[in-house]
Chains A and B, each alone.
Chain A
Amino acid sequence: MENYYIFKIILVVALFVVSLVVAMYSTFAERKISALMQDRLGPNRAGPFGLLQPLADGIKMFMKEEIIPNVSNKTLFILGPCLAMTTALMAGVLIPWGGKIELWGETFNLQVADLNIGVLYIFGVTSLGVYGIMIGGWASNNKYSLMGAIRASAQMISYEIAMGLAIIALIMSTGTMSLGEIAAQQDAGLANIVYQPLGFLIFLICAFAELNRAPFDMPESESELIGGYHTEYSSMKLGLFLFAEYINMFISSAVIVTFYFGGYNFPFQNEINEALGLSTNMATALGTIVMFGKIFFFIFFFMWIRWTLPRFRYDQLMRLGWKSLIPLAILNILITGVVMWMNGKLN
């Protein structure tokens, strides 16, 4: 039992560090990818290939003057970014990062907590993220911040419904709400994307909206709302908001990979592992590497979309959410139900 706790603590700390490092280098990747897509070079001065750029950005953020507006509600103003960051870091514990690992003669799952209601937990925590934006925007006492906060909350509520409905279809076909089991089920067979293509599309679009990323970056929309909810923020508080966005992007990429792309599984993994003669730990490591490959692809995908599409207009955003995605998601549930009934999986 002691080993169990030690392992979990190590895993949590490692997860914390990995999330931060990935988020750090996501900021760098974002700048570099946007540059490449716009036929520029991007940051290349700090360190080799500009690899120390995130560090320089971090130092810049810390060195900046800390401004708290006189008319703001100071407690809430400080609470906003803290909440955004905390909730961003909380969702990672549910993700199964790999298969089984053998340590000190015991077998552990490479997952901090395998809740049997994992999907619900993920939803709850990611929804909490909007409180950081709302509280921050409201406490700033600035009309642009408030507009951003209102947009953020409206957008989150609208797209969470479609997202939830898309997930219901997934839960129906997998029959479990535990992320560990969802990942494990895609072990030998096909990934869930094959069974739930429409559900995946809806989930992906909603993930963009939940992340406040382009083309759904309404709450920030620097051209209309001069930054939206973080207009009044400066120094590291602003840094936390921006950083939370990248951590969220990492976590939601991981969630998408777990839900629809087999998590740490990859095609013919058993055959490959046998052919290479890998031990359990090595096979798990390979699976984790594959999973990170998939996650990085989705992070790249998020950026790819951001530098391709322009921002939605607010009413178009609402129309897409309520009039297209929710009916589609309900249709998806229906289709899933009918297909399961025809295959005799419903009793």
Chain B
Amino acid sequence: MQPLTNRSKAVLQKEMTFAEKLYLPAIINGMIITFKHMFKKAATIQYPEQKREFSPIYRGHHVLKRDDEGAERCTACGLCAVSCPAEAITMQAAERKEGEEKLYREEKYAATYEINMLRCIFCGLCEDACPKEAIFLTDRLVPTEFERNDFVFGKDKLVEKVDDRVDVTKRQTQNVIDFKQNKKYSHNK
């Protein structure tokens, strides 16, 4: 029979030689290996001080973006909720009142917007579906909680602060912007 890979080895059950039966040479060899490892660089990343470098396309904690004037971009169209395979997103839409133009960019906005972080699988489909460039996944880690209910993140945790913008340039590349603004695609019409 032809071997599937060239890594296969024939199993030998030969009688051990005297030196092998003694085990001492093998033990000494093993000890040399462990001793050498004592001087190798540790693979440890000391977490709170040191952080592992994330991939540029890392998908972590979501952010709801504001536009340049500080108004929320989300219009509660619900496309993200529809696209979400884990059904983690819920929202309630509301109509913008007079005088709220600074807060919400368009006439409709999300009064509540919740993502259940225990359901979310961080696939990024919500980001793909969003026609308003409002939701992005960032390279931030989702904080841990003690209660199940605390994992339902509302707008307080999702919407970026006006004075503390979240950088999404890694995710919002030129390709992404072109895709979002190309009227050829149905979701942008």
- The answer to whether B42 touches A307, judged by C-beta atoms less than 8 angstroms apart, is no
Interface size for A (C-beta < 8 A) is 13
* Besides A36-B37, A40-B42, A40-B43, 7 other A-B contacts (C-beta < 8 A): A37-B37, A37-B38, A39-B42, A39-B43, A40-B44, A41-B44, A304-B31
Q: Which residues of A contact B46 (CB under 8 A)?
A: 41
- The verdict on B54 contacting chain A, using a C-beta distance below 8 Å, is no
- Chain A residues lying within 8 Å of B33, measured Cβ to Cβ, are 308
Whether B42 and A308, one on each chain, are in contact in the complex, defined by CB atoms closer than 8 angstroms, is no
Nearest CB in chain A: distance from B164 CB, A: 30
User: Does A38 touch B at the CB level, under 8 Å?
Assistant: yes
Q: Which 5 A-B pairs have the closest CB atoms?
A: A41-B44, A36-B38, A308-B34, A37-B34, A308-B30
Query: Is B27 in contact with chain A by the CB < 8 A criterion?
Result: yes
**Cβ-defined contact, A304 with B42, below 8 A:** no
**Would you give the shortest CB distance from A40 to chain B, in whole angstroms?**
5
* Chain A residues in 8 Å Cβ range of B43: 39-40
Closest to B28 in A: A308
Please give me the residue from chain A that is nearest to B42 by CB atom.
A41
Is the CB of B40 closer than 8 A to any CB of chain A?
yes
Pairs across A and B, CB under 8 Å, 24 listed: A35-B42, A36-B37, A36-B38, A36-B42, A37-B34, A37-B35, A37-B38, A39-B40, A39-B41, A39-B42, A39-B43, A40-B42, A40-B43, A40-B44, A41-B46, A304-B31, A305-B27, A305-B31, A307-B34, A308-B27, A308-B30, A308-B33, A309-B27, A309-B30
> How far, in whole Å, are A38 and B36 apart by their CA atoms in the complex?
10
Which residue of the partner chain A has the closest CB to B33?
A308
Look across to chain A and name the residue whose beta carbon is closest to the beta carbon of B30. A308
Residue of B nearest to A37 (CB): B34
A85 and B38 alpha carbons, distance in the complex (Å): 32
Chain A 28-48 interface mask (CB, 8 Å, partner B; 1/0): 000001011111110000000
Chain A contacts for B38, CB-based, 8 A: 33, 36-37
B1-38 near A? 1/0 per residue, CB < 8 Å = 00000000000000000000000000100110111011
Contacts of B34 in A (CB 8 A): 37, 304, 307-308
Report whether B37 and A39 are in contact in the complex, using a CB–CB cutoff of 8 Å.
Answer: yes
Whole-angstrom distance from the CB of B45 to the nearest CB of chain A?
10
Bound Cα distance A344, B152 (Å): 89
Residues in B with CB closer than 8 Å to A309 are 27, 30
Name the residue on A nearest B24 (C-beta).
A201
A40 to B30, alpha carbons, bound, how many Å?
Answer: 18
Which residues in A have their C-beta under 8 angstroms from that of B37?
Answer: 36-39
Give bound CA distance, A33 to B31, whole Å: 13
- Most interface-central of B30, B34, B35 (chain A CB within 10 A): B34
Q: C-beta contact mask, A2-17 vs B, less than 8 Å → 1, else 0?
A: 0000000000000000
- Per the 8 Å Cβ criterion, residues 221-264 of A in contact with B are none
Known: A41-B46, A309-B27, A309-B30. A304 touches B35 (CB 8 A): yes
Query: Are B44's CB and A308's CB within 8 A?
Result: no
Query: Chain B residue with minimal CB distance to A35?
Result: B42
Closest to B40 in A: A39
Which residue of chain A has its CB nearest to the CB of B38?
A: A36
Residues of B within 8 A of A35 (CB): 42
Chain A, residue nearest B26 (CB): A309
Closest CB in chain A relative to B28 CB, distance in Å = 10
CB proximity to A under 8 Å, residues B76-101: none
For B31, the chain A residues whose CB sits under 8 A away are: 304-305, 308
Question: In the complex, A38 Cα to B33 Cα: how many Å?
Answer: 11
Chain A residues whose CB sits within 8 angstroms of the CB of B41 once the complex forms: 39
Chain B hits for A33, CB < 8 A: 38
Query: Within the assembled complex, what's the spacing in Å between the Cα atoms of A324 and B116?
Result: 64
Bound: A40/B41 CA distance, A = 8
A41 CA / B49 CA spacing, docked (Å) = 15
* Interchain CA distance A238-B38 in the complex, whole Å: 30
Please report the C-alpha to C-alpha distance between residue A41 and residue B31 in the assembled complex, in whole angstroms.
19
